[in-house]
Structure 1
Amino acid sequence: MKKLFKKTHNKYKIKGKKTFNFVNSGSFGLKSISCGQLTKEKWESVRWALRKKFKAKLSTKQNKIWSLIQLNNSLTKLNLESRMGKGKGLVYTKSKFVREGTILFEFDSFPQQFRKEIVEFIQNRIPLKLQLVSF
């Protein structure tokens, strides 16, 4: 039986799902199970809402949240009425393409009962599927 390999411009083969669950800073984290793109505005709003919600709910400064995504793509856009050959356009936002298996957030000093609530809270705001990861 012959195996089929997908051709890519890279020299490495595309393999299956990434299963790395390394949590470095906190006691548990959130890992993406699907691929997708996050823009700067979406990412900042999720971070802000997360801090605001749990600051009001727990009212302690000992809870730590690390966001591990670095935005590395610049998205550009031209006017709708511009003709071809006028250049690339202005940068309107930054983004990051998130692959499956990427850890987005890490948390420390949060009670056990809030873990499921954190996943549901962020899942409703990000267009990715998330999974809870701990030691």
Structure 2
Amino acid sequence: MALMPKRVKHRKVQRGRIKGNATRGNTVAYGEWGLQSLEAGHIAANTIEACRIAATQYVRGEGKLYIRIFPDKPVTARPLETRMGKGKGEPDHWVAVIKPGTILFELTGVGHDAARDCFARVAYKLPLKVRLVARQQTV
């Protein structure tokens, strides 16, 4: 089952614009390795689920996967071959809004090579350019 909110304040929202870089959620917080977005965009709920399956199949119980994004924005769509007008369409699917610098997924309990291979499989399924980042040492 794809991710979606349990309840929302508004059923339909406007499209909006993605401006600037991520100021929150841009550091590796839970794992040792992170997958960071390099460009802005939307990631659908079923894409997040496909990435989760690809990553968990690769690590096979060795490491732990953390998902740092959640699809909380509804995207509406009109039925095919419908004339213009008659208002906005019904909610079709849910997306997560991604700014450049956002950490999408994190891994812990695996080495550098395993994390690189795992995130390469995940990156293939994503519509954005991403890169592998390591956790920064805090003093």
- Which stretch of structure 1 is more off in the superposition, 37-46 or 80-89? 80-89
Partner of 1:35: 40
**Could you tell me how far apart the structure 2 residues matched to 1:19 and 1:42 are?**
24
Offset of 1:73 from its aligned partner? 1.1
Q: TM-score with structure 1 length normalisation?
A: 0.74
> How has the CA–CA distance of structure 1 residues 91 and 18 changed in structure 2, closer, same or farther, with 3 Å as cutoff?
closer
The structure 1 residue matched to 2:54, chosen from 49, 52, 64, is: 49
Give me the whole-angstrom Cα distance separating, in 2, the residues matched to 1:19 and 1:120.
Answer: 25
Q: Tell me the CA shift for residue 94 of structure 1.
A: 0.2
* Higher Cα radius of gyration: 1
- TM-score, normalised relative to structure 2: 0.72
Partner of 2:106: 106
Q: CA deviation at 1:85?
A: 4.2
CA distance in 2, matches of 1:116, 1:48: 16
Give the match for residue 78 of structure 2.
Answer: 78
Equivalents in 2 of 1:18, 1:70: separation in Å?
15
Amino acid at match of 1:46: C
Letter in 2 for 1:39: A
Pair 1:70–1:119, CA change in 2 (3 A): same
Quote the residue 1:65 is aligned against: 65
| Distance in 2 separating the partners of 1:118 and 1:64 | 12
Identity between Structure 1 and Structure 2 (%):
29
- Unpaired runs of 5+ residues, structure 2, are 1-18
CA contact (8 A) 2:76 2:88 kept: yes
Q: Which amino acid aligns with 1:22?
A: T
Within-5 A mapping of 1:8-27: 21-27=26-32
